Structure 1
Amino acid sequence: MLILAIAFYSATFFAQKDSTGVKLKDIKIKGNISTTEGVYNPLSPSKAAFYSAIFPGMGQMYNEKYWKAPIVWAALAIPTYYYQVNNSAYKRFRTAYKLRKNGLQDEFTSDNGISSVSLQTLETAQKQLRENRDMSLLSGVIIYILQIVEASVNAHLLQFNTDDNLSFKPALIMNPIRFETPSVGLVIKYNF
């Protein structure tokens, strides 16, 4: 323990000394200092991801991309709907299968004992409906995660400088010397 404590505190022993000799208390500032926040906000992407995780589509609204929120809601509503449909049908066939195995009448058996669906069909339907239900759940989880990632990435990209000086402007420039045989080329100009 002693060696570990010496290793941690040794960093302060070998630290650089202040070469200016000016202490922070001795600095006097004349006038007002304006502390305006710049364009870059490092917490913005994490806030957008947090809001999207709490309520889907809220991160998109935080980024002021209000038109994306209904798309997120619809994208999550579709797998939710199919999950519920497949789950209820799975439970229906599962109940019928259990009743049939116990020798009781199920919803697919008429009053005179004739069944419209075989036992093998009930098993196959259960298997297929369970797979469909699980795929709906998986696609819903993937869409949920993607909307969180999208909100975070969009918040990152909103902080980049996108003024008109950074745009790409293609132009056709004809060569007057080779007017009859046009030449094709690419020229990239950087202006700072």
Structure 2
Amino acid sequence: MNSKLLNILFLIIATAAFAQEVDSTAVQKDSVIVSEKKEAIVIKDTVIDKEPYNPLAPSKAAFYSAVVPGLGQAYNKKYWKIPIIYAGMATGVYFYLKNDDDYNQFRDAYKRRLAGFEDDEFQGISTERLIDAQRNAKTNKDYSIIAVVLVYMLNIIDANVDAHLQQYNVTEDLSISPNFEVNSINTQANYGLSFRFKL
């Protein structure tokens, strides 16, 4: 009983999923008024195609992103990515400046201790700990620079790849779809995937 119910459910889902086909053409209707009493309808059939293949579009987008971060995304009309790029770069710059300030504070306190003064803002912290704090702040500054450079590089790579994928030809010539067959010998359902390749 459960297998029959499962077979029927799978058949309904598979039929519903492949029952409708999206039309890739669009018809544009223009109406022109000839006089007040008559209306002439002019119907133009226009096929909406993708823009022609431009082999230089990916390198153009990458160049734009290299010159001004986010400009390649604007060229690809992916405007929602631009704030993400600038937020990533601004975060890296913020942490760089913060760690630079911390490094300068630790270094100044260490220099004052070497000069013999004990009135720095880090009372109760040993000199060795100040040296470690300087090293950690310097390491974090370096990581912040690396993060900014990585976001910048990802910005260029994203613009290039996105421009490539916009020109990618997606057709029905190569498709994978669920397949449902009934075995004629034992009347059991066979489920699978069908792979279609049209030349």
Residue 58 of structure 1 pairs with residue 48 of structure 2: no
Structure 1 counterpart of 2:132, one-letter code: T
Q: What residue number does 2:104 align with?
A: 91
Are 2:164 and 1:160 equivalent residues in the alignment? Answer: no
Please tell me whether the aligned partners of residues 61 and 72 of structure 2 are also in contact (alpha carbons under 8 angstroms).
Answer: yes
Q: Could you give the per-residue CA deviations for residues 76-115 of structure 1, whole angstroms, max 9, x where no partner exists? A: 1211111111111111111111111111355326xxxxx3
Paired residue secondary structure (1:188): strand
1:97–1:119 Cα contact (<8 Å) kept: yes
Indicate the structure with greater strand content.
Answer: 2
Kept in 2: contact 1:108–1:117 (CA 8 A): no
Task: Please tell me whether the aligned partners of residues 60 and 66 of structure 1 are also in contact (alpha carbons under 8 angstroms).
Answer: yes
Q: Distance in 2 between matches of 1:156 and 1:51?
A: 15
Quick one: which amino acid aligns to residue 155 of structure 1?
A
Percent of aligned positions that are identical: 40
- Counterpart amino acid of residue 183 in structure 1: N
Q: Which residue of 2 aligns with 1:7?
A: none
Q: Tell me what 1:174 maps to.
A: 181
- Deviation at residue 176 of structure 1 after TM alignment: 4.8
In the aligned structure 2, how far is the partner of 1:166 from the partner of 1:67?
A: 32
> 1:186: Cα distance to partner?
3.3
Q: Could you tell me how far apart the structure 2 residues matched to 1:85 and 1:142 are?
A: 19
Equivalent pair of 2:176/2:195 in contact (CA under 8 Å): no
Equivalent residues of 1:83, 1:133 under 8 A apart? yes
Give the unaligned 5+ runs of structure 1: 1-37, 110-114
Residue 108 of structure 1 contacts residue 116 of structure 1 at CA under 8 Å; is this kept in 2? no
**Does the C-alpha gap of structure 1 residues 106 and 142 become closer, same or farther in structure 2, counting only changes over 3 Å?**
farther
Q: What's the offset of the Cα at 1:166?
A: 4.9
Give the CA deviation at 1:182: 3.3
> TM-score with structure 2 length normalisation?
0.67
Distance (whole Å) between structure 2 residues aligned to residue 137 and residue 131 of structure 1: 10
C-alpha contact (below 8 Å) 2:176/2:196 kept by paired residues: no
CA deviation string 1:108-166 (max 9, x = no partner): 26xxxxx3221111101001111111111112111211110111111112112235x35
- The alignment covers a number of residue pairs equal to 149
Q: In the superposition, relative to structure 1, how do residues 177 and 95 fare at CA in structure 2: closer, same or farther (>3 Å)? A: same
Contact 1:63 1:154 in 2 (8 A): yes
1:137–1:41 CA distance, 2 compared to 1 (3 A): same
8 Å contact from structure 1 (residues 89, 129) kept in 2: yes
Contact 2:89 2:152 in 1 (8 A): yes
Distance 1:179 1:155, change over 3 A: farther
Flag the 1:166–1:89 CA change in 2: closer, same or farther, 3 A.
farther
One-letter amino acid matched to 2:93: T
Q: Supply the RMSD in Å over aligned alpha carbons.
A: 2.1
Residues 72 and 147, structure 1, Cα contact 8 Å, conserved in 2: yes
Structure of higher RCO (CA pairs closer than 8 Å, 6+ residues apart): 1
Q: Which deviates more, 38-47 or 115-124? A: 38-47
| 1:147 correspondence with 2:155 | yes
